[in-house]
Amino acid sequence: MSVPRRPPALLVAPLLALALLLTGCSSGTPSAPTDPARGAAGPQSDAASTPRSSLSAEPTPTPAEIPGLGPQTQAQIPADARQAFVVTGEEADSNQSSGVLYSREDPAQGWQPVAGPWQAHNGMEGWTDHHVAGDLRSPTGVYSLTDAGGRLPDPGALLPYDEHPRFAVDGVGFFGESLEGSFDYVIAINYNRTEGVSPLNRTRPLGLGRGGGIWIHVDHGGPTQGCVSVPEKRMKELLRTLDPAMNPVIVMGDAGSLGR
């Protein structure tokens, strides 16, 4: 009987090296093969293969709204209005208020304050959502601003400006303060009036019983009949800033009403 012959010693080493190459260096699970579509880690690289932009993208910021205005008031501001003079009364029956001018030149940023707050006065008896002649209250709401004028020459107004001596006024206010100069500069508030005419025009689309002649004018140091008043320096600033191309409006009322 013949005995099997061992392979020569010179063949053992090459065979052992070949076996190691085929089985790998690990004694555990074989390494995952490379997947050209997913990278070197194959199926385990899903997260790594996600586009970087989807991981680092930040949420789009919400355009800023005007502080203190509730959804009902915000909805009254026309979509094309890009300037808003917001006059906020302290209380429904108060004649003390403050004004801030806002602008939204960039719709993505929303409303931004550009001037104020300024001290202001409103009607002697406060505010109302149904103004009638002689109630001594200022009408709440959102109204466009299209026309200006005054006794003194145009200080550089962007709105159409009517200089006229009929803007002269005398007498005293509710607290005995002089009214002289109150109408040196005025901006008509488009409550119960026709747009595009002098503030002196007395046309009343809602009828005489609903009042009218509601203006922004120079403050005389006391309450008004129903207008809004700010210091003379601020009136000049408003006249030089309110731009008809930006469809300016006034948002006016007591804080409680505006917050609705």
Pick 6 or 96 by higher pLDDT. Answer: 96
Tell me the CATH number for domain 80-258. 2.40.440.10
- The DSSP output letter for 138 is E
Question: Looking at the predicted structure, is the pLDDT value of residue 41 above 80?
Answer: no
Task: Characterize the bridge pairing of strands 249-254 and 127-128.
Answer: unpaired
| Under 8 Å between Cβ of 185 and 195 | no
With 0-12 / 13-18 / 19 or more C-beta atoms within 10 angstroms meaning exposed / middle / buried, residue 209 is exposed
Predicted structure pTM score: 0.77
Q: Which residues pair with 186 in a beta bridge?
A: 149, 217
Q: Mind listing the pLDDT tens digit for each residue in 165-206? A: 999 999 999 999 999 999 999 999 999 999 999 999 999 999
- DSSP secondary structure string for all residues of 7-40: PPHHHHHHHHHHHHHHH-S-SSSPPPPPBTTTBT
Give the model's confidence band at 236: pLDDT under 50 very low, under 70 low, under 90 confident, else very high: very high
Q: Is the pLDDT of residue 237 over 90?
A: yes
Residue 136 has pLDDT above 50, yes or no: yes
